[in-house]
Chains A and B, each alone.
Chain A
Amino acid sequence: MSVLPFLDVALALLIVGLAVWTIAARVLFASVVGYVAYGLLLALVWVRLYAPDVALTEAAVGSGVTGVLLITAGKRLGAARAGEAGPAPGLAQKLFAGALALLVAGALAAVILILPDPAPSLAPQAAAAADGPGAGLGNPITAVLISYRSFDTMLEKVVLILAVLGVWSVGADKAWGAAPAPLGQRNPYGASVFLAQMLAPVGAVIGVHIFWVGADAPGGAFQGGALLAAMWMIAMMARITEPPRIDARRLRLALVAGPAVFLIAGLAGPLMAGSFFAFPHAFAKPIILFIEAFMLLSIAVALPALVAGPPSGRSE
């Protein structure tokens, strides 16, 4: 009898507890902080589910970058008066909505418990394809993302571009072209500067490493990109660097590099391997790594751009 089951239960309770806190906290900022902690713990659950890739992504994106985004927003809105968003719901409303939410959650739990056994799985197909379209990648997740379901991945990158443009478009007309507002206050001797100076290079190296090993081990462009993004954001928060102008050609090129290369590779598929988004067996791995490198770049730029928000000030 190992202690793991007890740890599992404790982890589950802790996570649900934090979720309750996130929902129930009276103060907006407390709720945001609760959510960030929750995200970190959730990464542990993913580890227990044998999903290290997801755990990395959840830690970096779901908790880390999202956390920065929400905390920044929470701070800016913190000054706002309570109740300005509208009246708090009445008790009857709470009970009714709560009952319905409970019903849906209960139905969901019931359905999860009766999922068919043995579970259907595409793992055998993925294993069979590992040497073909999978191109000998040791990490099946990377194979899925860049080969079997590459189309999803490319579209998701387009979604990121749109999100960046969407965020920018919320800004004022006169600010168009300028840089977003800085992420933090200037304090040349603060701890954050020190942290950033120490952490950012190390983190960046780890990020690139995660990307590089992602072909065979857990990791890949997403996780590596997210880590790089986090490092850049730390640097921006410490005001070591500033967010770039949104009309900078280099920024735009970096943002579209991933989907553009992906798209071109996909279009070249019929010439190389007889089908769109197919890669020739002999060169599949290098091609995939090549695509991933640009994706890494795009993610590393897109996530901070999303956090930094719309351009502010005047464009000239």
Chain B
Amino acid sequence: MSHLSSALLVATLAAPLALLAACFVKSWRPCALALQWLAPAPGLAAGVLGVTAAPGSFDLPGLGFTLRLDPPGALLLAVAALLWIVVTAAVWRERAPDERFGLCWLLTMTGSLGVFIAGDLVSFYLVYALVSIPAYGLFAFSDDAEKKRAGAIYMAFAIFGEALLLLGFAALAAGEPHGSSRIADVMAALPASPWRDVILALIVAGFGMKMGLIPFNGWMPLNYAAAPIPAAAVLSGAGVKAGVIGLIRFLPLGVPLQGWGEALAALGFLTAFYGVLLGLTQQNPKTILAYSSISQMGVIAAALGMALGAGDVSASGDVAFYAANHLLVKAALFLTIGALAARGAPLSGAPLGGWTLALAAALALSLAGLPFTGGALAKLASKAQFASGWAASLATLSSIGTALLMTHFVARLDAPPPDAARECPLALVRFWPAVALGAILLPWLFYPAFGDVSEALGLAKFWEGLWPVLIGVGLALGLRRLGLRRLGWPAPRVPAGDSIVLFEGAFARLLALGPGFETLDARLRQWPAAGVSLLLIVLALLAAGVLG
């Protein structure tokens, strides 16, 4: 690895960490927070350089940490860094949010950039925790009951996911014969590990929670509905990709695991369709986008599942590209909600302007693979995974579903949540067209590193990309026209977060055990009980020794 890349790699983490350190001095804090939009710059540079470079790693001396950059990670790092720069700069340009929010923002940013370059288990776990936990502060510090609920649920899933991953990582580390905790080394040892299946289950469940795979999808709609628009943009764009990079890093893609691959693919497709269906029942555009994210993460999981089953190691790049496109588009879509709200259309009662609507629709339909958008390239990239058979059909079906859902979203843009206009920074409102265009076109810049751009421009491909979108849009418009609303559409009304109520119920039942524990404790803390316990322990130890 060249000195420049190494230095940039270190700076990717060092820059935000330095600002974080500066925050310890009270008088420097406002300045450090205001400058944090610059912190992702080294990451951006490292990412851009790394997309075309050979993979390389760098050991931080003394701490036992390893940083590693490969093209999939570099691509995600570059686009995530870009997103962070744009949104952060816009937010702080307007007016500095309170320090609590600013610190959480900086911490989340650090973790979000770090997950793409962490090269060993411990540092990956560290940055993964950083991107998960401080994000709580971006939306949940509030007296609003719904925001509190969203925060608590988010935290519960985040922490639970962390616990599963901790065990999975520990098992990975324990399976490495030489005591190395580098991801490359532990993954090399994984296929032969006696605990392979347990580890895979933990990895899929742990990262699946971050990605909102069913049945762990319920937190996401609540979270994005509660988050202010800039926060929702970075969380849905960059934050969720921590789960994607996790699966990319920790699935043994080089070794065909038929059963695991099919299971993951099935789970992914299930999530993809489930997200679309549930999204259609929602009215809040933020919530619809959350369900769209669930659905898209399902597609990514399905692609990874197919790759896992086939032992296709090149899938990591394809999936990363798909995820990068989603990162840009989803963030831009969240900003669209606020930008369009602020641009006055819904307030003044005037309909959205034609070209505005067209741009928003193009952006939204990029997710479905609309030709000439980044989404078309993403679809192309995932082609290898969904090459044939049932997977290809399901992938097409999911494109149709996405188009359907995104049309529903565009239709709901005229009813943004009340705070949407206020939440969106002015700069982003003004430059929204640039943001949207950037999100649509930027993937074209990176695609040459992953595939042949000209492939996307052929007529066959054009048609192949277009017809599912058309069907989806048509279906959506048709449904509206048919007046299904009178028949109860979009009923059945499902509460945002759907299955989350079941988890809350189970949690309430767990909480109900609490008084039982208190009674137990009160009994055991009576002196005679404690004395008897002491004698029992002595006798048990004696028996264990003499008989054992």
Which residues does A use to contact B, with CB under 8 Å? Answer: 89, 93, 96-97, 100-101, 103-104, 107
Determine whether the beta carbon of A97 is less than 8 Å from that of B542. Answer: no
Determine whether the beta carbon of B528 is less than 8 Å from that of A93. Answer: yes
CB of A29, distance to nearest CB on chain B (Å): 22
**SS class, residues of chain B in contact with chain A:** helix
Determine whether the beta carbon of A107 is less than 8 Å from that of B536. Answer: no
10 tightest Cβ-Cβ pairs between the two chains A and B: A100-B535, A104-B535, A97-B532, A93-B528, A103-B539, A89-B528, A100-B532, A107-B542, A104-B538, A97-B528
Determine whether the beta carbon of A104 is less than 8 Å from that of B532. Answer: no
Within 8 A of A (CB), among B499-548: 528, 531-532, 535-536, 538-539, 542
Determine whether the beta carbon of B532 is less than 8 Å from that of A96. Answer: yes
13 A-B pairs whose Cβ atoms sit less than 8 Å apart in the complex: A93-B528, A96-B532, A97-B528, A97-B532, A97-B535, A100-B532, A100-B539, A101-B535, A103-B535, A103-B539, A104-B538, A104-B539, A107-B539
Rounded to whole angstroms, the CA-CA distance of A233 and B374 in the bound complex is 97
CB of A96, distance to nearest CB on chain B (Å): 7
Rounded to whole angstroms, the CA-CA distance of A103 and B536 in the bound complex is 10
CB of B380, distance to nearest CB on chain A (Å): 75
Rounded to whole angstroms, the CA-CA distance of A97 and B536 in the bound complex is 10
CB of B527, distance to nearest CB on chain A (Å): 8
Beta-carbon nearest neighbor of A104 in chain B: B535
Rounded to whole angstroms, the CA-CA distance of A93 and B531 in the bound complex is 11
CB of A100, distance to nearest CB on chain B (Å): 4
Determine whether the beta carbon of A100 is less than 8 Å from that of B536. Answer: yes
Rounded to whole angstroms, the CA-CA distance of A93 and B527 in the bound complex is 12
B536: A residues at CB distance < 8 A: 100
Q: A103-B539, A104-B538 are in contact. List 9 more A-B contacts (CB 8 A).
A: A93-B528, A96-B532, A97-B528, A97-B531, A100-B532, A100-B535, A103-B535, A104-B535, A104-B539
CB of B526, distance to nearest CB on chain A (Å): 9
B528: A residues at CB distance < 8 A: 89, 93, 97
Beta-carbon nearest neighbor of B527 in chain A: A86
- Pick from A93, A100, A101, A107 the residue with the most CB of B within 10 Å: A100
Rounded to whole angstroms, the CA-CA distance of A97 and B538 in the bound complex is 14
CB of B537, distance to nearest CB on chain A (Å): 11
Rounded to whole angstroms, the CA-CA distance of A93 and B535 in the bound complex is 14
CB of B533, distance to nearest CB on chain A (Å): 10
Rounded to whole angstroms, the CA-CA distance of A104 and B534 in the bound complex is 11
Beta-carbon nearest neighbor of B539 in chain A: A103
Beta-carbon nearest neighbor of B529 in chain A: A93
A93: B residues at CB distance < 8 A: 528
A107: B residues at CB distance < 8 A: 539, 542
A96: B residues at CB distance < 8 A: 532
Beta-carbon nearest neighbor of B543 in chain A: A107
CB of B147, distance to nearest CB on chain A (Å): 49
B532: A residues at CB distance < 8 A: 96-97, 100
Interface string of B6-35 (1 = CB under 8 A from A): 000000000000000000000000000000
CB of B532, distance to nearest CB on chain A (Å): 6
Beta-carbon nearest neighbor of A111 in chain B: B542
Rounded to whole angstroms, the CA-CA distance of A96 and B535 in the bound complex is 11
Rounded to whole angstroms, the CA-CA distance of A100 and B536 in the bound complex is 7
Rounded to whole angstroms, the CA-CA distance of A93 and B532 in the bound complex is 9
Beta-carbon nearest neighbor of B536 in chain A: A100
CB of A177, distance to nearest CB on chain B (Å): 36
CB of A113, distance to nearest CB on chain B (Å): 15
CB of B536, distance to nearest CB on chain A (Å): 7
Rounded to whole angstroms, the CA-CA distance of A101 and B528 in the bound complex is 12
A89: B residues at CB distance < 8 A: 528
Beta-carbon nearest neighbor of A100 in chain B: B535
Within 8 A of A (CB), among B344-390: none
B539: A residues at CB distance < 8 A: 100, 103-104, 107
Rounded to whole angstroms, the CA-CA distance of A103 and B538 in the bound complex is 10
Interface string of B325-349 (1 = CB under 8 A from A): 0000000000000000000000000
Rounded to whole angstroms, the CA-CA distance of A79 and B302 in the bound complex is 81
B538: A residues at CB distance < 8 A: 104
B542: A residues at CB distance < 8 A: 107
CB of A102, distance to nearest CB on chain B (Å): 10
Interface string of B180-211 (1 = CB under 8 A from A): 00000000000000000000000000000000
CB of A25, distance to nearest CB on chain B (Å): 19
CB of B111, distance to nearest CB on chain A (Å): 50
CB of B540, distance to nearest CB on chain A (Å): 11
A101: B residues at CB distance < 8 A: 535
